[in-house]
A and B are shown apart, each in its own frame.
Chain A
Amino acid sequence: MLDILSTIEKLCEYPSPSGFEHSASKRVENIMSRVMDKVEHDAFGNVYGIKKCGKKGAKCILLDAHIDEIGLMVTGTKNGFLTFTTLGGVDPRILPATEVLVLTNPPRFGVITALPPHLQSEKEMENAFDIENLCIDIGAEKDEKTVPCGTPVIFSSGCVKLCENYISARALDDRGGLVAILTAIDMLKSKKLSCDVVVLASVQEEVGCRGAKIAGFSVNPDLAIAVDVTHAHTPGADKTSTFKSGSGVAIGVGPNMTKKISDALISVAKDKKIPHTIEVCAGHSGTNAWVLQTAREGIATGLLSIPLKYMHTPVETVKKKDIEATAKLICEFLLNLSSGGIKL
């Protein structure tokens, strides 16, 4: 049995800011090769794990999770400090005094600047810092040429276990999704499927679902299921648009998802008593499902999401049970498909 926590830990060791996923891709290839028959990658770093059923004309199911994470990019130097821009959606309020890893070779540790409270009024502290006024401190004495403009940066936080089987780490969006898929594949180890499965670990989702767009074209599957994260309830967030951690897998419904796929996922979840909720997306689901659906002549698409707290911060938090529910649903869905319960 694939261990969820240790797999997340392993994945977290490798930085993969959008556009710079190559080292993480290699790691994912390595992990995938243990559960898939064949593993390939493309020029952008998308990793494809392939498991054929051996039947002629078998349908092809694509399971997608993205491996890129949000980060920062160095844009220059200023008196030895590094200026930066964001890679993906970063709330500037999480940045002051945050520890980062500047991905030079070897990487350099850094701290994002902040002004001491002693120099600021209570009023000033009410306003968030402008991102333009923040820099990365790498301990350099003066401008060095060692960190070229364009160097990517990630948050340096690792993985920590909280109470009640919560896991907190950076980039659980969407390593949580990848781990759910791999867990499902692992559950199917001894089962016979009558469809081919391609597990896609896609790149550049955080900057516009770019990796999945080209992968959808390349694989051209009969069905694609994007496995990503969704917002979990947290203090201050609107409860109508978030999902309680521990409530299981959120099944996407709406124009971005092919109706019969959503329906099938819901009915399998009900039959197998897998904890689940329904996530209604009126338009863009904000996931790779959006681009997978319109690849080539169009692909039947489903979306499964894992509730995640504090998305896009260094302390994203997920409940292990929700990853397990997601894995279970993927597993049961594929079995149901193989037994002809669902027709594509």
Chain B
Amino acid sequence: MIETIKELCNLKGTSGWEVAVREYIKKRIKPFATEIREDIMGNLIVFKKGQKRRNNPFMVCAHMDEVGLIIKDITEEGYLSFDFAGGVDRRVIIGKRVLVGEKGIPGIIGMKAVHLTTKEERKKTPKLSELCIDIGCEKKAAAEKLVSLGDYAVFDSPIRELGENKIKARALDDRFGCGVMLKLIESELSYDTFFVFTVQEEVGCRGAEIAAFGVKPDFALVLEATTAADIPVSEGSNKVCVLGKGAVIGCVDGGAIYDKRLFALLRGIAEEKGVSWQIKTRVAGATDARSIHVSRKGVRTTSLSLPTRYIHSPSCVADIRDMESVFTLARELISCEEEKLNA
């Protein structure tokens, strides 16, 4: 699974431009899926038959897109102005490398040299309009030959091991979730299950909205990467969640109050199987659950998330043991008989 997640993280897939991720997933699941279809926005909807039928359909979902940059303008001097696709703190992109467009043209986001700044300037984050991508072109015309307005750019950040149990990668949010789903699809399932790889989560959980409408599930499980701020500047609840302390079971976040019964069920499974788990200690962030749980007449929705440091930056860091915890709990949950889900 870890290797799959790494491969997925290497793919480029900013919100609205998930094609590479989708094609990869399609190829991988073809031998294992019962039915694969793609909807109008590009969500990949996969049905896999299990040993038993479910009367109340269960949908597992993870998003394919990642935060990134979108080219808005090309200056006379050949620099690329950009905006963010998804929420990015502009403080984490300065001095970083990006890959622009499908061809992956290398570019960098520089900043005026420290020697040329005042003390006051150094205290302020540059405005987005003051930052740009430098691909080396000196004239607008030259840059226009390589880049079109609306092209996407992703961070150029290779995957690395960090310490004994952690990895650093660009798009762990949410290729991690995609990786867990691939692994589930590739295994034998007890029950029929829908798996949805969604688009455009980072710009407002938009893919999940139509996917949930189309699949009409009674239950949904969202697999996500979530904000961890367990760094020395954060104390107590401000850490939100902690790497290495297990899967985050959805309780309340900025987008949804998760189903209480599924929460209790997951907690019970975790305790019984000795899988470490935690909840988020701040109401922050949101997942596709935001759209799913209010779909049609309502969907009982829960989530399992991976604590991720420096999320939405070029260098997300997460713990491999937490990934395993999420996988185990996800597998157990979708193997639960209906009475248990409805208990």
Binding site for B on A (CB under 8 A): 78-79, 81, 83, 89-94, 96-99, 108-111, 113-120, 125-129, 133, 135, 137-141, 155, 157, 160-166, 168, 231, 233-238, 241-242, 245-246, 286, 309-315, 317
Known: A91-B114, A245-B138. 11 other contacts (CB 8 A): A116-B309, A118-B284, A118-B312, A119-B229, A135-B231, A160-B97, A162-B106, A162-B136, A164-B137, A236-B112, A312-B114
Given known contacts A109-B160, A139-B162, A245-B138, is B115 in contact with A311 (CB within 8 Å)? yes
Given known contacts A93-B91, A163-B142, is B231 in contact with A81 (CB within 8 Å)? yes
**B195 CB–A CB distance under 8 Å:** no
Q: Kindly identify which residue among B87, B97, B315 contacts A118, using a CB–CB cutoff of 8 Å.
A: B87
Are B317 and A237 in contact, CB atoms less than 8 angstroms apart? no
Are A117 and B87 in contact, CB atoms less than 8 angstroms apart? yes
Q: Kindly identify which residue among B106, B123, B165 contacts A127, using a CB–CB cutoff of 8 Å.
A: B123
Given known contacts A165-B136, A231-B115, A237-B116, is B123 in contact with A114 (CB within 8 Å)? no
Are A161 and B112 in contact, CB atoms less than 8 angstroms apart? no
**B200 CB–A CB distance under 8 Å:** no
**B56 CB–A CB distance under 8 Å:** no
The residue in chain A whose Cβ has the minimal distance to the Cβ of B145 is: A163
Are B110 and A310 in contact, CB atoms less than 8 angstroms apart? yes
A125 CA to B125 CA, complexed, in Å:
7
**B238 CB–A CB distance under 8 Å:** yes
Given known contacts A90-B114, A125-B89, A235-B132, is B315 in contact with A111 (CB within 8 Å)? yes
Are B232 and A81 in contact, CB atoms less than 8 angstroms apart? yes
Which B residues lie within 8 Å of A111 (CB)?
162, 168, 309-310, 315, 317
The residue in chain A whose Cβ has the minimal distance to the Cβ of B93 is: A97
24 contacts between A and B (CB under 8 A): A81-B232, A89-B114, A90-B114, A91-B113, A91-B117, A93-B125, A98-B315, A99-B168, A111-B317, A114-B310, A115-B233, A115-B234, A116-B285, A117-B87, A125-B91, A139-B165, A139-B317, A140-B163, A155-B95, A163-B135, A164-B137, A235-B130, A311-B115, A317-B110
Q: Kindly identify which residue among B77, B111, B115, B231 contacts A113, using a CB–CB cutoff of 8 Å.
A: B231
Are A162 and B134 in contact, CB atoms less than 8 angstroms apart? yes
Which A residues lie within 8 Å of B317 (CB)?
111, 137, 139
A135 CA to B92 CA, complexed, in Å:
14
Closest 5 CB pairs of A and B: A139-B163, A162-B136, A310-B110, A166-B136, A139-B162
Q: Kindly identify which residue among B77, B95, B166, B284 contacts A94, using a CB–CB cutoff of 8 Å.
A: B95
Are A164 and B138 in contact, CB atoms less than 8 angstroms apart? yes
Are A116 and B122 in contact, CB atoms less than 8 angstroms apart? no
Are A162 and B162 in contact, CB atoms less than 8 angstroms apart? no
Q: Kindly identify which residue among B79, B105, B123, B165 contacts A235, using a CB–CB cutoff of 8 Å.
A: B79
Chain B 294-317: CB-based contact to A (< 8 A → 1; otherwise 0): 000000000000000111111101
Which B residues lie within 8 Å of A117 (CB)?
87-89, 312
Are A91 and B233 in contact, CB atoms less than 8 angstroms apart? no
Are A98 and B95 in contact, CB atoms less than 8 angstroms apart? yes
Binding site for A on B (CB under 8 A): 75, 77, 79, 87-92, 94-97, 105-117, 122-126, 130, 132, 134-138, 142-143, 146, 156-157, 160-166, 168, 227-229, 231-234, 238, 240, 244, 254, 282, 284-285, 309-315, 317
Q: Kindly identify which residue among A114, A137, A157, A233 contacts B162, using a CB–CB cutoff of 8 Å.
A: A137
Of the candidates B111, B123, B166, B238, the one having the most CB atoms from chain A within 10 angstroms of its own CB is B111
A288 CA to B275 CA, complexed, in Å:
60
Are B115 and A312 in contact, CB atoms less than 8 angstroms apart? yes
Are A231 and B95 in contact, CB atoms less than 8 angstroms apart? no
Which B residues lie within 8 Å of A157 (CB)?
97
Are A163 and B146 in contact, CB atoms less than 8 angstroms apart? yes
The residue in chain A whose Cβ has the minimal distance to the Cβ of B106 is: A160
Are A128 and B97 in contact, CB atoms less than 8 angstroms apart? no
A141 CA to B168 CA, complexed, in Å:
15
Given known contacts A99-B315, A231-B113, A311-B115, is B240 in contact with A236 (CB within 8 Å)? no
The residue in chain B whose Cβ has the minimal distance to the Cβ of A95 is: B95
Q: Kindly identify which residue among A90, A98, A138, A309 contacts B110, using a CB–CB cutoff of 8 Å.
A: A309
Q: Kindly identify which residue among B115, B132, B146, B282 contacts A89, using a CB–CB cutoff of 8 Å.
A: B115
A236 CA to B129 CA, complexed, in Å:
10
Which A residues lie within 8 Å of B112 (CB)?
234-237, 310
Q: Kindly identify which residue among B97, B116, B124, B168 contacts A126, using a CB–CB cutoff of 8 Å.
A: B124
Which B residues lie within 8 Å of A140 (CB)?
163
A99 CA to B169 CA, complexed, in Å:
11
Are A286 and B168 in contact, CB atoms less than 8 angstroms apart? no
Q: Kindly identify which residue among B134, B231, B232, B284 contacts A309, using a CB–CB cutoff of 8 Å.
A: B134
